[in-house]
Amino acid sequence: MVEINFPTLILQCINFLVLVWLLKKFLYKPVLNFLDKRSKEIKDKLEESEKLREEAKRLSEVQQEKMVQAKKEALNIIKRAKNSANQESDRIIYEAKQRAESVIKNTKKQIEAEAQEQKELLIKKIGSLSIELSEKIIRKELQSENIDYMTEEFIKDLQKTE
């Protein structure tokens, strides 16, 4: 049968316990510390990654808001530019109408002045023709010539001057 040697068994048990103690002291704790440290680093990296993701999302939202704001501002600038252009166009058209009315008014005044001048010239001409006719009539009467002839001549002279 098998014989059990107790002193060897006790020494082997003591040996095993010393080995377990040495492994725990020199191997298990450093490996456990390394694993804890590595686990903590991974957890920190994940937290940092999540923070960066949230920051990127926030920045994206801010960027989107800025884009919307920029579009609104661009549309507002375009609207103001169109309004300004329309106002400028209206002002230019108004000024052109004012100038045209002024030119028309001045032209009418010039035409009226020239017409008045022509009337005055015509009146003077008629007056001088009347005087000439009167002189001719008086001369003809003095010379006893035909008055009808002189009247026809006077009418012809008037028709020529018109």
pLDDT bucket at 147, cuts 50 / 70 / 90: low
In residues, how long is the chain?
A: 162
pTM of the model: 0.41
Structure tokens at 152: 């026809």
What's the domain range around 110? 42-161
Structure tokens at 40: 């903590």
18 in any annotated domain: no
Structure tokens at 134: 């009167």
The sign one gets for the Cα dihedral 100, 101, 106, 111 is positive
97 in any annotated domain: yes
Total structural domains in the chain? Answer: 1
Query: Residues 120, 107: contact at Cβ < 8 Å?
Result: no
116 in any annotated domain: yes
d(CA 75, CA 81): 10
Query: Residues 129, 157: contact at Cβ < 8 Å?
Result: yes
Nearest to 140 by CA among 161, 128, 154, 126: 154
72 in any annotated domain: yes
User: pLDDT tens across 20-42, in order?
Assistant: 999 888 888 888 889 999 999 99
